[in-house]
Amino acid sequence: MNDFYRHWMKPLLFRFDPEFVHHQTLQFLAWLKDSSCGQDFTRAVFPSTALPTQVCGLTFPNPLGLAAGMDKNGIAIPTWEAMGFGFCEMGGVTRFPQPGNPKPRLFRVPQTEAIINRMGFNNIGADAVLSNLPPQGRPSAAPLAINIGKSKRTPLERAHEDFCYTFERLWEQGDLFVINVSSPNTPGLRTLQDRSALHPILKALVNANKRKVSESVSGHGPKPLFVKISPDRETDQINEIVDLCMELELDGIVATNTTTQRPSPNQGSRPMVYDRETGGLSGQPLRRRSTEVIRQITSRSHGKLTVIGVGGIDGPESAWEKIAAGASLCQIYSGLIFRGPGIIRSIVNGLQAQLRHHDFKSLKEAVGSNRPYQVEPKPLQP
Ligand SMILES: Cc1cc2nc3c(=O)[nH]c(=O)nc-3n(C[C@H](O)[C@H](O)[C@H](O)COP(=O)(O)O)c2cc1C
């Protein structure tokens, strides 16, 4: 599957505009979801590997998830699961529908296997998204995370109302929620990471969570709440967010969103698109920084906050790096574009092999272990 994608699919897809390909692919995946044999077909093409893990009281069939931004309106959720993801983070969803920034706003950087985007939270809004989401109590084995952003038209000082509206509207459908205050593509959004701005937002969401529990007829407990942070924050600023999350008893942090920096590649020349296009950079150049942030959160919180690691994962080694640094779960976006969907199985198999090599009985034992990646892990016992 990996070779087929690399040699045939990718050269074809990369001839076209990135957003056009993204749109067409999503429509196809949504069609697979709706067609009667689509799910069976997808499962047959992408046989998944089980590596179950329990995080925040939820059971994940494996620790690799789809990162936010790929399926903003949640139109293909069952297909992502059928492709082998252990969970899917849909969104960012905002209270109001919005078209996002003018096109073009999505750029590939093949030299560094990176993407630059300035999409600007294009989505159909919380009310419309609701009808796309699988019904509550679905038989799905993979948890659904919902990423919430702030509508562009809502002033920063009223951000808490905007976040709370979307959270409450989608509360029954999501298994966990991610508060996105780190997208570089909504003016001023990243200032919401400052303690003075973040405190009222998180407090309002924690209260809304309690309120929803008391009103819920389905008997759900509180939904795990995560904050997604930027890799561009200084050490002190990250510590401040970690401390605030612990103070307000949030469940964890998603580290990290895209960067506005343009880290130079290790080899080769600096791609021209780096300077030409503004927006958030993701993919391989982000890998090292996002792992550093994970390590810092783990150390500052003494492992008390759950970390979802994302940024530059492109195979088993980079996924293991995040787990060993302290992430309980990890996610990919750019790696899926450059390596294709076969990467899902490669990563989960690779993580399993690392557990065997290090004699870990479960993934939990590996989290924060800082064990190095073993290039040729032990073969399976007969
Ligand atoms: C086109 C695009 C759109 C994205 N949209 C969102 C979003 O709506 N909300 C969010 O929290 N992150 C968004 N992200 C960031 C990703 O979820 C992820 O944090 C980032 O791309 C780093 O992971 P990667 O290196 O595997 O791509 C987006 C990324 C890309 C490339």
Q: How is residue 168 written in tokens? A: 């409450």
Q: What is the DSSP letter of 85?
A: -
| DSSP conformation class of 98 | B
Residue with tokens 């959270």: 167
From 183, 282, 328, 334, the catalytic residue: 183
Any residues with Cβ below 6 Å from ligand 1, and which? 67-69, 72, 91-92, 106, 115, 117, 119, 121, 147, 180, 183, 228, 257-258, 282-283, 286, 310-313, 332-335
pLDDT tens-digit series, residues 319-356: 999 999 999 999 999 999 999 999 999 999 999 999 99
pLDDT at residue number 136: 67
In order of start, what are the domains of the chain with their CATH numbers?
2-366 (3.20.20.70)
Ligand 1 pocket test, pick from 94, 186, 257, 321 with the greatest ligand atom count within 8 Å of Cβ, gives: 257
What is the rounded distance in angstroms from the CA atom of residue 102 to the CA atom of residue 111? 25
φ and ψ of 345, to 5 deg: -65, -40
The answer for residues whose C-beta is within 8 angstroms of residue 167's C-beta and 6 or more apart is: 148, 177, 205, 208, 209
Q: What is the pLDDT of residue 141?
A: 80
Judge whether 293 and 211 are in contact, CB under 8 Å. Answer: no
> Are 325 and 369 within 8 A, CB to CB?
no
What are the φ/ψ torsions at residue 123 (nearest 5 degrees)? -165, 165
How far is Cα 280 from Cα 260, in angstroms, rounded to an integer? 5
Rounded to the nearest angstrom, the distance between the alpha carbon of 119 and the centre of ligand 1 is 10
In order, the DSSP letters of 212-252 are HHHH-SS---PPPEEEEE-TTS-HHHHHHHHHHHHHTT--E
Atom of ligand 1 nearest to the CA of 115: 31
pLDDT of the residue at 47: 83
pLDDT in tens, 88-146: 999 999 999 999 999 999 999 999 999 999 999 999 999 999 999 987 656 668 999 99
CB 178 within 8 A of CB 227: yes
Pairing status of strand 144-148 against strand 176-180: parallel
Residues in the chain where the model's pLDDT stays below 70: 136-140, 377-382
Tokens of 102: 């003018």
CA distances from 244 to 153, 158, 251 (A): 27, 20, 11
Residue 38's pLDDT is 85
